[in-house]
Structure 1
Amino acid sequence: MRRHLSIALRGPAAEPLERLRRIWDPRMADVVPAHVTLVYPEEILDETLLLKRAESHVTGRPPFRLRLGGVFAMGGGVLVRVLDVDGAWADLRRELLSPPMAPVEFPPHATVAHPRTSTRALQCRAALAGREVEGEFRVTEIQFTETGSLSFSVVRRFRLGSGATTG
């Protein structure tokens, strides 16, 4: 199981992205909703500390915006760039991943075709090269999720600006 802090991309703005995911990586699209990872499993050296930080730094922060952008390939996958409109995604990462956590450098993105679940990444890359995906999201919640090869669950939710968590 892989545990992440992530941002679910929902609503009408997510539809173009979800359509692409269903075409190029239906296995992943059936299990895991479209999302932007805030903290990767490899970065979490102390889960208890991370969750305490999330409770403190996420719930006290106002909602913010993310916007979809251009398609690009990286690490064997096909991704859609996510623009950090208000700078809050980067700020949260800095706050959550201060030592002893171990941040990795990977741009904010949403995955269209993942190398673990899609056999069509090369065709996807060729078909979508140079394409822009449009959609803007108001982020009101960060989720702590657990993902397996055929499962996805939200373990805990942190609502921005609310001072509250659930899960």
Structure 2
Amino acid sequence: MANAAVNDWITLPEMKDIDSSKIFSVTFNKLVAIEDIDGIVIFQGGNFVPVEITVNGRQAFVKPSHQFIPNTTYEMRIFIGDRRYKMNFESIGSTESGGLIYEGKKDVRSYFANDQLIKGINHYIVNLKEGYPINIYVTNDYEQRYGKGFAYEEMLSMIKSIEAKRKAKP
């Protein structure tokens, strides 16, 4: 990659109300191969969001490894040759999953496993309008056992049950 000055960013227009599972399409003015792209990254709060990048012709597709957090600002940066682009975007406020927010992996002590430390368990939070937030932990092999998406459907059922019982919305 050619050396560009720190302030030599080309700022792209900001995007609002981005879907929580958006796959970005970046269109170039010529055919590109994956090795032509020096990097495409997404940041949130100083942290990298893991992404998968694929290329087809003049387009690169940027897919996050997990859903974006609702009502959160992110920044995408694109590095190609001596050009550097950046774009801010904000995720949409509510999701189809009833306000379920993925918090990433977490180490958790399990009451049900004699206080054993379980490393790298998926952590979700449901924030209802009243009371305390609800923490939900899901193991990695859950999807392998029950199928992709099943955990989300099951959690959505739990959220709807809680809403009905407490007459509250997340």
TM-score band (shorter)?
under 0.3
The structure whose residues are more often helix, as a share, is 1
> TM-score if structure 1 supplies the norm length?
0.23
> TM-score if structure 2 supplies the norm length?
0.23
Does 1 or 2 have the higher relative contact order (CA < 8 Å, sep 6+)? 1
The structure whose residues are more often strand, as a share, is 2
Bigger Cα Rg: 2
